[in-house]
């Protein structure tokens, strides 16, 4: 088969589209994404010993922050696809120019997001949560939001390595950030030694400081690699408006995909907050466990998107198909095993979240009640997790090719019409239950996975070439 010069011919490199190639790229990204889940879980673990109100507030606030940043972040992350396709097509100048468009975009949008700071308390007060929880949510959200420029810049710089399949670099930096975050979390939340006792604000500040460290390390390594490989790093730093328009054309729908998905789940979580603080805290715990399963899938999806993009840039469609087929097998295997753990050992999965909670002290979370309710909610997670894997695999393959509009539209329709609207109707019924509301989320995720699979089978994604000067418009 004839391949573009960007496709590796090294004897030591795995075969294009093979399981070994997928493993080499995906495992570091899964661990890297999993480390971000650990960073989120660290806040819950530390705050569980602080108060039930702090534990109840952290997830709605973090989800609201993610909802705010996910459009620019999802757009910036699409630099992975541009870099991978230009790398596959051996167009190094365009590859580096794509990186710079992501860097400039991260700086501009990060600064603009600071405008959300004065709006946090008025918005959060609309949730109906108690004033105590609203205040804690606002403290956590505002601190994370102030650090948004560093989060987005770290994301842009990571694309330099992810898009070129240097995923082990991203993994190492991510884990270093996790270890830093966990240590500083404990110091700032409880005020150990000379550090001030900042409570929930300290947990958010530790996360922001970890992002700053990631940016510093990424920048150093990028400069070193660009010099070693003689890449036109500084020569490509100008704003390229034609490339930026192309980048936004495909990247913004990808960012909107993240937004409609996460805004849907944020509203879903806010709806549950109108039941009771125990229901909200138990949901937070179940989502935290779900994050330990799902967030590695996000790294897996980034690997699929990168490899599919690289193979399409190298004009190797069969390799892109093999990558996707192998990804389906691994994704279903991963979620199937974890689903069995949630079904048979739910209490074991929840135990780390009560590490700092003393059930006999009268402070912190009510361990027994929360553990019992959260264990039941984990059964829903077990049911929908396999479909979640299918949604991630096929939507990532589609986005790797440049098909970004359809995944966004199907996620929009399903999350809001199948999950949010029914949940809102249930909460206004005479006898609302947390289990009925969680059923709407289960149906939404299962339907989304099926629809992404059907879109992939149409084969329309095979016609797109982002690395070409003329990009074909793909009908929805």
The residue written with tokens 């999965």 in the block is: 349
In a domain, 367, yes or no: yes
Residue 352, judged by CB atoms within 10 A of its CB (0-12, 13-18, 19+), counts as middle
Instruction: Check residue 8 and give its pLDDT.
Output: 47
* Cα gap 387→410, rounded to integer Å: 14
**pLDDT of 153:** 96
pLDDT at 3: 45
CA distances from 212 to 29, 215, 378, 475 (A): 20, 5, 34, 41
Return the half-sphere exposure (C-beta side, CA atoms, 13 A cut-off) of residue 410: 23
Is 114 a domain residue? yes
Q: Which domain holds residue 368?
A: 19-463
What's residue 127's pLDDT? 74
> pTM for this structure?
0.80
**Contact (Cβ atoms closer than 8 angstroms) between residue 226 and residue 166:** no
pLDDT at site 194: 87
Per residue in 401-427, pLDDT (tens digit) is: 989 999 999 999 999 999 999 999 999
pLDDT at 64: 83
Count the residues in the chain.
476
In a domain, 438, yes or no: yes
First to last CA, the chain: 31
The pair of three-digit structure tokens given for residue 244, joined into one six-digit string:
């930026």
**Is 332 part of a structural domain of the chain?**
yes
When computed from its CA atoms, the radius of gyration of the chain, rounded to whole angstroms, is 22
Residue 473 is assigned to a structural domain of this protein: no
Q: Please report the beta strands in 251-397, taking only residues with DSSP state E, as ranges in sequence order.
A: none
Write out residues in the chain with pLDDT < 70, as ranges: 1-13, 37, 356-366, 467-476
List of long-range contacts for 354-358, beta carbons under 8 Å, 24+ apart: 354/48, 355/45, 355/48, 355/49, 356/45, 356/46, 356/48, 356/49, 356/50, 357/48, 357/49, 358/49
Domain count, the chain: 1
- Residue 113: what pLDDT? 93
Secondary structure letter of residue 51 according to DSSP: -
In a domain, 11, yes or no: no
pLDDT attached to residue 1: 40
- CA triplet 337, 308, 452: central angle to 5 degrees? 60
Task: Tell me, yes or no, whether 113 lies in a domain.
Answer: yes
Q: What is the pLDDT of residue 154?
A: 95
Question: Which pLDDT does position 361 carry in this prediction?
Answer: 53
pLDDT of 363 reads: 53
Rounded CA gap, 26 and 350, in Å? 27
User: Looking at the domain assignment, is residue 468 inside a domain?
Assistant: no
């Amino acid at each position: 088969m004839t391949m573009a010069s960007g496709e590796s011919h090294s004897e030591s490199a795995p075969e294009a589209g093979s399981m070994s190639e997928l493993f080499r790229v995906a495992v570091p990204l899964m661990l890297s994404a999993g480390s971000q889940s650990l960073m989120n879980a660290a806040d819950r673990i530390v705050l569980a010993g602080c108060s039930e109100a702090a534990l109840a507030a952290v997830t709605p606030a973090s989800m609201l922050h993610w909802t705010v940043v996910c459009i620019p972040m999802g757009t910036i992350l699409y630099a992975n696809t541009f870099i991978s396709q230009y790398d596959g097509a051996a167009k190094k100048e365009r590859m580096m120019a794509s990186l710079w468009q992501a860097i400039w975009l991260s700086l501009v949008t990060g600064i603009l997001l600071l405008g959300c700071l004065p709006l946090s308390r008025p918005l959060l007060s609309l949730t109906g949560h108690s004033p105590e929880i609203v205040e804690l949510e606002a403290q956590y959200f505002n601190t994370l939001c102030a650090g948004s420029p560093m989060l987005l810049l770290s994301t842009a710089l990571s694309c330099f390595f992810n898009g070129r399949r240097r995923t082990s670099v991203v993994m190492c930096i991510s884990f270093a950030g996790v270890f830093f975050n966990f240590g500083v979390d404990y110091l700032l939340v409880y005020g150990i030694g000379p550090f001030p006792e900042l409570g929930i604000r300290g947990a958010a500040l530790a996360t922001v400081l970890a992002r700053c460290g990631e940016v510093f390390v990424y920048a150093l390594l990028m400069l070193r690699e660009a010099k070693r490989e003689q890449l036109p790093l500084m020569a490509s730093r100008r704003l390229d408006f034609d490339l930026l328009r192309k980048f936004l054309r495909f990247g913004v729908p990808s960012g909107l995909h993240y937004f409609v998905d996460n805004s849907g789940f944020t509203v879903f979580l806010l709806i549950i907050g109108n039941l009771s603080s125990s229901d909200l805290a138990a949901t937070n715990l179940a989502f935290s466990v779900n994050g330990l399963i799902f967030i590695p899938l996000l790294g897996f999806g980034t690997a699929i998107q990168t490899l599919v993009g690289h193979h399409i840039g190298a004009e190797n469609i069969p390799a892109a198909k093999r990558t996707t087929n192998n990804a389906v097998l691994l994704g279903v295997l991963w979620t199937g095993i974890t689903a069995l753990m949630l079904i048979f050992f739910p209490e074991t999965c929840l135990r780390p979240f009560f590490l700092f909670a003393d059930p006999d002290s009268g402070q912190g979370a009510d361990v027994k009640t929360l553990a019992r309710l959260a264990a039941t909610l984990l059964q829903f997670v077990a049911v929908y997790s396999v479909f979640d894997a299918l949604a991630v695999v096929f939507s990532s393959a589609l986005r790797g090719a440049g098909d970004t509009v359809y995944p966004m539209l199907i996620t929009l329709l399903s999350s809001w019409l199948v999950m949010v609207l029914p949940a809102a109707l249930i909460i206004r019924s005479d006898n609302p239950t947390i289990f009925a509301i969680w059923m709407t989320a289960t149906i939404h995720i299962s339907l989304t996975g099926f629809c992404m699979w059907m879109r992939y089978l149409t084969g329309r994604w095979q016609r797109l070439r982002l690395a070409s000067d003329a990009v074909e418009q793909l009908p929805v």
